[in-house]
A and B are shown apart, each in its own frame.
Chain A
């Protein structure tokens, strides 16, 4: 008897509509666009700073415009989602075994949040906030 297996093609561009978990995954991945956008934004800020006081002040003024505020708020939301979704996955990638037990995932996630707070405080200190 001859075989004739039937192959079901996966739609190359619409596969992630098939399941809710694929949509959540794409949601997490899409946030990287906003992380990249904010990195570009910071580079532009540095360039304006290098161009002198007038250029930098004009840049800061632009930030206070409705469009500037909207960009920052939207970016903040997506970057927070990006950071928290990755932090929540860290116990899978970095399990810590002590004797016959693994550290609870919450401890590993918590350590990442603690590290985030420390780095943020250092940045704020260097920026002269304290």
Chain B
């Protein structure tokens, strides 16, 4: 196995002693097939036990280990060292406050996610005796890609609108609202529209498209937001020009 020496520049912040974050460089002997998360684990195990960061699955499923790696929002478990130069800069996800080292405060996202009701609100309540809510493969296909979101928040770090306007509900939450609005079994669109068809909702989005570019699961939040804009515009015209067309 070949070994490579990587200089890992990590943004550190200790709320108990620091007034602002500072970079600390670690020299890490890395195996060729390692990812950035492996290098951080090496630091934690062998060089500096005080380094804090979130991770869990190491396989791009849990969405915990998102960080800025050389300025790009990335899952550190998916960032292969072979794709990076010998010096790698690791920072906590931007647009979120830093709790400690690479750990960010994610309360804002959690609150927004909660507001869009990202769960099935059945169109009609069925008892267990009445059987399951059935759905055709074509109906599933309509929203399937949006179900792949792992709430890793890379899209919030990529989105300049969220950085500038923190009230913006943001890519992942709106994409998940769209996922449930597009579900043939769901009847909660009107409730979600009150949250997402607003200025802080889709209308803060100016279609930069960065959210979709950084998504590690190839979800396309930018597409979801544009589709919500079109559907909301159609709603507006129906309401104001064709009152009889209101459903």
A residues near B, CB below 8 A? Answer: 1-8, 10, 12, 15-16, 18-19, 21-22, 25, 29, 89, 92-95, 97, 99-102
Contact = CB atoms under 8 A, between A and B. Distances in A.
A89 B209 contact: yes
Given A5-B98, A6-B13, A21 B208 contact: yes
Contacts of A4: 15-16
Contacts of A100: 137-138, 141
A29 B208 CA distance: 9
Contacts of B206: 25, 29
Contact of B226 (A10, A92, A99): A92
A59 B220 CA distance: 48
B15 A93 contact: no
Contacts of B97: 5-8
Interface in B186-225: 206-210, 212-213, 220, 222-223
Nearest to A10: B163
B72 to A, nearest CB: 8
Contacts of A21: 208-210, 213
A97 B141 contact: yes
B24 interface: no
B208 A25 contact: yes
B215 to A, nearest CB: 13
A99 B105 CA distance: 42
Contact of B210 (A8, A22, A97): A22
A25 B160 CA distance: 11
Chain B, interface size category, equals 35 or more
A29 to B, nearest CB: 7
B147 interface: no
Nearest to B228: A93
B118 to A, nearest CB: 21
A10 B98 contact: no
A6 B100 CA distance: 8
B161 to A, nearest CB: 10
B78 interface: no
Interface string B161-195: 00110000000000000000000000000000000
B160 to A, nearest CB: 6
Contacts of B230: 93-94
A21 B13 CA distance: 28
A3 B15 contact: yes
Given A92-B220, A97-B138, A15 B227 contact: no
Given A5-B97, A5-B99, A8-B94, A97 B142 contact: yes
B208 A22 contact: yes
B111 to A, nearest CB: 15
A129 B195 CA distance: 51
B104 to A, nearest CB: 8
A80 B222 CA distance: 23
Nearest to B208: A25
Contacts of B226: 89, 92-93
Contact of A92 (B18, B72, B99, B222): B222
